[in-house]
């Protein structure tokens, strides 16, 4: 007898911690933009694992790269060299126009690594007195779940109950350049920003904000760190979401899609004189930069180097935003985003975000609410026009009034 979805859900409920509240869909298989549940129902995936699946489920080139590497060597630790690390770092630096790469695993680790590097740089290069470095961050940020990172979260459910909190962070309103200016001092090591805030509901900052942040950092001799873990790697129509503002960061954190939806792979990329402050023994990770991850990462870089996925995001994104725009005033209060990425707010008094996602799933579309009545849409960049339209039809059926 086959196990029903309800039985799998009961098993999860009984044995796994309850730090998530998943929709009642039990996925057994996936391909491209589609997933199939244990009872054979098919769904279009409009979440893409929060953009970790930019290339869709099991992209053939990425699966092939993983399989090839599985037949050779998967893990060495960094106690030895291996034949994938240098090439991965070089190719990622060339792709992003940066000088050096620090490979890690999860996104939160990349952010933690960038914060450590920025502090060390502040003491060794900028001359901030030891133990006094400050890092300025934005309200409504999402940078991960470690104790230090949640210390500067403004989301109470992420933060409350996990103190004592790591000091050394100043939180200012996202999108407010004057507040940023007032928060930067001579002890500021770095300003850490998401070019577009994903978890907050795909918040695009006001025109000129990021360029002004860059100018303020230059003026104060402070690093600008762009967290592109969700916004980067073609999601918004450019390799990095910072590009349209003409701004370059000193450090970028990358993750999610960097592992091709196959394994966790993150990195800090940026200036050699900044990342170069790390000396042997000062930072590391057993799995960071492992051969299997590097091989998959290299295949991801190859996909991104053609510009094809960036172009798809622009084209399909225009198509999606045109349709979503028609729903504003007819079920949606607001639509934000860029490329094939949108945050949509359901009209107050309508369905809650959770109810909307349950109704969408019942009709074969997977999406996830973020805060309250906001849904984030991030279809895989490999989705066909027909499938995108099909998903948008379902969205319209559920949300239009
Ligand atoms: C998801 C995310 C992270 C954390 O990545 P994990 O792999 O979940 O640790 C950090 N920053 C941003 C902007 C993210 O979207």
* pLDDT digit string (tens) for the chain, length 401 residues: 578 999 999 999 999 999 999 999 999 999 999 999 999 999 999 999 999 999 999 999 999 999 999 999 999 999 999 999 999 999 999 999 999 999 999 999 999 999 999 999 999 999 999 999 999 999 999 999 999 999 999 999 999 999 999 999 999 999 999 999 999 999 999 999 999 999 999 999 999 999 999 999 999 999 999 999 999 999 999 999 999 999 999 999 999 999 999 999 999 999 999 999 999 999 999 999 999 999 999 999 999 999 999 999 999 999 999 999 999 999 999 999 999 999 999 999 989 999 999 999 999 999 999 988 999 999 999 999 999 999 999 999 999 98
User: Is residue 8 annotated as a catalytic residue, yes or no?
Assistant: no
CA pair distance 279, 10, nearest whole angstrom: 48
Helix (H, G, I), strand (E, B), or coil: what is residue 217?
Answer: helix
Catalytic residue among 46, 256, 345, 387: 256
- What is the residue extent of each domain of the chain? 5-53+311-400, 73-305
Residue 357 to residues 189, 330, 401, Cα–Cα distance (Å): 41, 18, 16
Mutate to test the pocket of ligand 1, among 146, 202, 255 (most ligand atoms within 8 A of CB): 255
- How far out from the chain centre does Cα 366 lie? 18
Q: What is the largest CA-CA distance in the chain?
A: 68
Strands annotated E in 154-220:
169-172, 188-193
Distance from residue 113's CA to the centre of ligand 1 (Å): 13
Ligand 1 site residues (CB inside 6 A) read 50, 106-108, 111, 142-144, 194, 198-199, 227, 229-230, 255-256
Mutate to test the pocket of ligand 1, among 49, 103, 111 (most ligand atoms within 8 A of CB): 111
The β-bridge relationship of strands 42-45 and 34-37 is: antiparallel
Backbone angles phi, psi at 162, to 5 degrees: -115, 15
Catalytic residue among 55, 88, 142, 309: 142
User: Is residue 279 annotated as a catalytic residue, yes or no?
Assistant: no
Distance from residue 255's CA to the centre of ligand 1 (Å): 7
- In this prediction the pTM is 0.98
CATH of 5-53+311-400, one of 3.90.1150.10, 1.10.3720.10, 3.30.390.10, 3.40.50.300: 3.90.1150.10
Distance from residue 114's CA to the centre of ligand 1 (Å): 13
Distance from residue 199's CA to the centre of ligand 1 (Å): 9
* CATH domain 73-305 topology: 3.40.640
pLDDT for 1: 59
Catalytic residue among 227, 250, 345, 387: 227
pLDDT for 272: 98
133 with 189: CB under 8 angstroms? yes
Helix (H) or strand (E) run with residue 314 in it: helix 308-327
pLDDT for 371: 85
CA pair distance 120, 130, nearest whole angstrom: 9
pLDDT for 87: 98
User: Is residue 401 annotated as a catalytic residue, yes or no?
Assistant: no
- DSSP class of residue 42? E
Strands annotated E in 265-347:
266-270, 332-337, 342-346
Distance from residue 330's CA to the centre of ligand 1 (Å): 32
């Amino acid at each position: 007898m086959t196990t029903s979805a309800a039985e799998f859900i009961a098993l999860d409920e009984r044995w796994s911690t309850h730090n998530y509240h998943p929709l009642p869909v039990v996925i057994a298989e996936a391909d491209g933009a589609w997933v199939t549940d244990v009872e054979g129902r098919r769904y279009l995936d409009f979440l893409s694992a929060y953009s970790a699946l930019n290339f869709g489920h099991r992209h053939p080139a990425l699966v092939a790269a993983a399989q090839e590497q599985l037949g050779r060597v998967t893990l060495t630790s960094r106690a030895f060299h291996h034949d994938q690390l240098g090439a991965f770092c070089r190719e990622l630096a060339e792709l992003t126009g940066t000088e050096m790469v620090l490979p890690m695993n999860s996104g939160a680790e990349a952010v933690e690594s960038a914060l450590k590097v920025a502090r060390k740089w502040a003491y060794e290069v900028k001359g901030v007195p030891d133990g006094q470095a400050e890092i300025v961050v934005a309200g409504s940020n999402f940078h991960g779940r470690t104790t230090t990172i949640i210390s500067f979260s403004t989301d109470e459910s992420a933060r409350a109950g996990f103190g004592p909190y790591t000091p050394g962070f100043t939180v200012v309103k996202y999108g407010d350049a004057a507040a940023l200016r007032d928060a930067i001092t001579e002890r500021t090591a770095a300003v850490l920003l998401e070019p577009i805030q994903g978890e907050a509901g795909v918040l695009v900052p006001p025109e000129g904000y990021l360029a002004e942040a860059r100018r303020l950092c230059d003026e104060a001799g402070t690093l600008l760190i762009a967290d592109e873990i969700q916004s980067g790697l073609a999601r918004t129509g450019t390799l990095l979401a910072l590009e349209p503002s003409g701004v370059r960061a000193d450090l970028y954190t990358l993750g999610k899609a960097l592992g091709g939806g196959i394994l966790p792979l993150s990195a800090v990329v940026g200036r050699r004189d900044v990342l170069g402050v790390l000396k042997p023994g000062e930072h590391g990770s057993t799995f960071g930069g492992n051969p299997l991850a590097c091989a998959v990462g290299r295949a991801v870089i190859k996909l991104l180097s053609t510009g094809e996925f960036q172009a798809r995001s622009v084209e399909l994104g225009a198509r999606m935003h045109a349709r979503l725009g028609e729903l504003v005033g007819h079920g949606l209060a607001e639509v934000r985003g860029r490329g094939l990425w949108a945050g949509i707010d359901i009209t107050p008094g309508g369905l809650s975000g959770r109810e909307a996602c349950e109704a969408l799933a019942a009709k074969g579309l997977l999406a996830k609410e973020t805060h309250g009545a906001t849904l984030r849409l991030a279809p895989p960049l490999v989705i066909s026009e027909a499938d995108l339209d099909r998903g948008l039809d379902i969205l319209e059926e559920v949300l239009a009034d």
